[in-house]
Amino acid sequence: MKKVVRVAAGQGFWGDDLDAPRRQVEGGEIDYLMLDYLAEVTMSILQKQKERDPSLGYARDFVGAMESVMPAVTGRDVKVIANAGGVNPLACAAAVKALAGRIGAAGLRIGVVTGDDLLGDLDKLMEFGHPLANMETGEPLSKVRDRVLSANAYIGSEPIVEALQGGANVVITGRSTDTALTMAPLRYEFGWGTESWDLLAAGIVAGHIIECGAQCSGGNCLHDWRSIPDLANVGYPLVEVKVDGTFVVTKHAHTGGRVSVPTVTEQLVYEMGDPHSYITPDVIADFTSIRLAADGENRVRVSGIKGKPPTDKLKVSIAYRAGFKAVGSLVYAWPDALDKARHADSILRQRLERLGLRFDHILTEFVGASATHGPLAGTDFDPPEVQLRFGVRGDDRAAVERFTREIAPLVLNGPPSVTGFAGGRPKVEEIVAYWPALIDKGVVRTRVEVIS
């Protein structure tokens, strides 16, 4: 058994720094590279791609990331765990296998975890008494069933552990929890039992701290942000974990950013609900038990974590079509920039009313004046410029399309001093809405295959 297991984060979301995975494997010693690609909206985007082309539906950036780290995987036994499979993990694995063949990488063993995708089983599940009710509104899924794009259960770390036990050095999943990508290698290396609640909770906390990449090592950090060094070369985080569940959060030497108690604390409260009960499929972690302490430069020691048994449910992320939207903008210059933008807003609303266009929602933002803070921004100021952002949404695509033709005329027949109109007519976009639900754990059957 290893005394310390080092798990490094190389992606915090789909679209993160393409070079981060390579820097993590080349910058110092690590045992595992964790790559987190998925968010709720990502699954619906990937499902749309799969509808157009059955060979797609996964985070294609992952293939490039694998090419950059392949020497470390096949030569230094660095293992990679990623949820890049999206709604098509098998196609993702096939693409990585094809890459290995092209570049002559021998010894690649790909573990594929499937079973999280419930889209094809929704009608059967509802028929057998699983309403998949919206966790926020209580409405049954039947209300929007005909518009559902994707439905994926959040799976835990157990099938990833199974893939590692099967000899995989790359594991690809669909919609696993973000924290499972870090938890799994710790369970595999240390043999933590399924009821070792405090140890499992430590693994969850470690995963939560590094799941967003550089957000815990100085990026997007509010605390003393001006003093954070060299963000152009920001170091992505890693955790050094011991068998007793204590661990250190750090980053490679000679990289920018900062790992400190404040930066780690900011990440800990990210997406936090009840701090006493951070619920995952593996364990419920008590975030109020966490103890942080500085452990040298760019090192934070984490200890004291407590856990308790998980619930008998899994969360299901469902995306569905919810109409159309379009957003246009104009920038008004000083003097009286805010008054001009407000007047333009009034004119535009009157024109839409005159045209008989009806929408479910019309939203106006005055960027540079009150878009972020709303009424708290006050009114006693005269900003040098204000961007009017005007958006509509509704089920009638034709009405939304007609709206897009009403922004440009304001340049010459509205208030004066318009600038910054260079993007052309707004585009109509389909709205994908989020439907969170719960389902009994026993309904979701994961499958693990190791491809060599």
243-302 pLDDT, tens digit each:
999 999 999 999 999 999 999 999 999 988 999 999 999 999 999 999 999 999 999 999
Task: Calculate the CA dihedral of residues 43, 46, 52, 53 and round it to 10 degrees.
Answer: -130
The domain total for the chain is 2
Model confidence pLDDT, tens digit, residues 364-407: 999 999 999 988 888 788 999 999 999 999 999 999 999 999 99
What are the Cα distances from residue 168, in Å, to 21, 158, 293, 361, 423?
A: 19, 14, 35, 49, 48
Same domain assignment for residues 284 and 403: no
Same domain assignment for residues 287 and 334: no
Instruction: Decide: 307 and 283 in contact? Cβ < 8 Å.
Output: yes
pLDDT of residue 242: 98
- For residue 210, pLDDT beyond 90: yes
- Calculate mean pLDDT across residues 437-450: 97
Closest to 61 measured CA to CA, from 86, 90, 28: 86
Q: Does 256 reside within a domain?
A: yes
Find the helix or strand (DSSP H, E) in which 392 lies.
Answer: strand 385-394
Same domain assignment for residues 359 and 220: no
Same domain assignment for residues 273 and 235: yes
**Class of residue 274 by CB neighbours under 10 A (exposed 0-12, middle 13-18, buried 19+):** exposed
Rounded distance, CA 230 to CA 27, Å?
16
Domain end position, chosen among 311, 340, 355: 311
Structural domain range at position 254: 4-116+154-311
What are the Cα distances from residue 83, in Å, to 78, 88, 176, 390?
A: 17, 10, 6, 36
Give me the chain's average pLDDT, please. Answer: 96
Model confidence pLDDT, tens digit, residues 120-156: 999 999 999 999 999 999 999 999 999 999 999 999 9
Same domain assignment for residues 109 and 237: yes
Same domain assignment for residues 267 and 378: no
Q: What are the structure tokens assigned to 48, written together?
A: 């749309």
Instruction: Decide: 125 and 148 in contact? Cβ < 8 Å.
Output: no
Query: Which DSSP state fits 400?
Result: H
Q: Does 294 reside within a domain?
A: yes
Find the helix or strand (DSSP H, E) in which 7 lies.
Answer: strand 4-11
Same domain assignment for residues 260 and 387: no
Model confidence pLDDT, tens digit, residues 45-95: 898 899 899 999 999 999 999 999 999 999 999 999 999 999 999 999 999
CA end-to-end span of the chain: 25
Q: Does 183 reside within a domain?
A: yes
Please state, as a whole number, how many other Cβ atoms lie within 10 Å of the Cβ of residue 299.
Answer: 15
Same domain assignment for residues 181 and 252: yes
pLDDT of residue 424: 83
Rounded distance, CA 369 to CA 366, Å?
6
- Calculate mean pLDDT across residues 113-118: 97
370: which strand partners?
none
Q: Does 142 reside within a domain?
A: no
Same domain assignment for residues 221 and 363: no
Q: Does 293 reside within a domain?
A: yes
Rounded distance, CA 234 to CA 20, Å?
9
Say what percent of the chain tops pLDDT 90: 93
Same domain assignment for residues 273 and 357: no
Instruction: Give the type of residue at 140.
Output: P
Same domain assignment for residues 88 and 163: yes
pLDDT of residue 420: 77
Same domain assignment for residues 285 and 328: no
Instruction: Decide: 257 and 9 in contact? Cβ < 8 Å.
Output: no
Instruction: Decide: 240 and 6 in contact? Cβ < 8 Å.
Output: yes
- For residue 44, pLDDT beyond 90: no
Q: Does 445 reside within a domain?
A: no
Helices and strands (H, E) in the chain, number of each type: 12, 19
